[in-house]
Amino acid sequence: MCWSATADLAAGMGIAAVGVACVTAVARAGRGRDLPLAALPLLLGAHQIVESLVWRADGGSGPATVAWAVIALPLLVLWVPAAVLCAAPRRARHRLLLPLAVGVVTSAALAYNLANHRVTADIRGHTIGYGIRLSHSGPILAGYLIATVGALLLSGDRRLVVFGLLAGTGASACWALWRLEFVSTWCALAALCSLVLLGWSRGRPLPRR
């Protein structure tokens, strides 16, 4: 996220509140398959809160920076396609196996890189730049977007497609404007798009008994 620790903390708390509302809505409706996706704003909100700790630590390579990288990279790229597959209608599940498989491979590659190379964070004015050494960064970035944005676009659910379009547009804008801070700014924009998931959580039909 841009600007400051305070901005990240406030955004994280607000997004986490959206996540609580999403989880509550699907839990009350008894839609257990939707819970992983409904919890996504909780994960994204926690991610912004962790980044506020990176700000307060003045960057570096401490625990907050490592936690930020773990959530943003191997965890998120696996969580999103798996959660979308759980929530998707039966007719769409077979095509979601591709982004899930890509997510598994990409997550493993990212976890390997994080385990073998130090992650650093540098405060650059009102942004944070993360130093993450990645082997084959081009294919990994492509896999990341296929697994996350691709899963949403292939979900077969109108609101999730809208979420995917917003996240994909945000990814393009972040890459064009803030290449060095791409992952940080994209995760923040994806988190702010979580309001779409609140509408999705409240508007889903009840499961058949």
pTM score of the predicted model: 0.87
pLDDT tens digit sequence for 29-41:
898 999 999 999 9
Question: Is residue 107 a part of any domain in this protein?
Answer: yes
Map residue 131 onto helix, strand or coil: strand
pLDDT, mean of residues 83-90: 93
pLDDT tens digit sequence for 1-13:
556 888 889 888 9
Question: Is residue 16 a part of any domain in this protein?
Answer: yes
Question: Is residue 40 a part of any domain in this protein?
Answer: yes
Question: Is residue 46 a part of any domain in this protein?
Answer: yes
Number of domains the chain contains: 1
The DSSP element (H or E) to which 123 belongs, if any, is strand 120-124
pLDDT, mean of residues 167-188: 63
Question: Is residue 208 a part of any domain in this protein?
Answer: no
Q: In the beta sheet, which residues pair with residue 146?
A: none
Q: Would you report the helix, strand and coil content of the chain in percent, each value rounded to 5? A: 75, 5, 20
If we measure between CA atoms, which residue out of 48, 30, 51 comes closest to residue 40?
Answer: 48
* Residue 143 structural domain: 5-203
If we measure between CA atoms, which residue out of 128, 180, 121 comes closest to residue 5?
Answer: 128
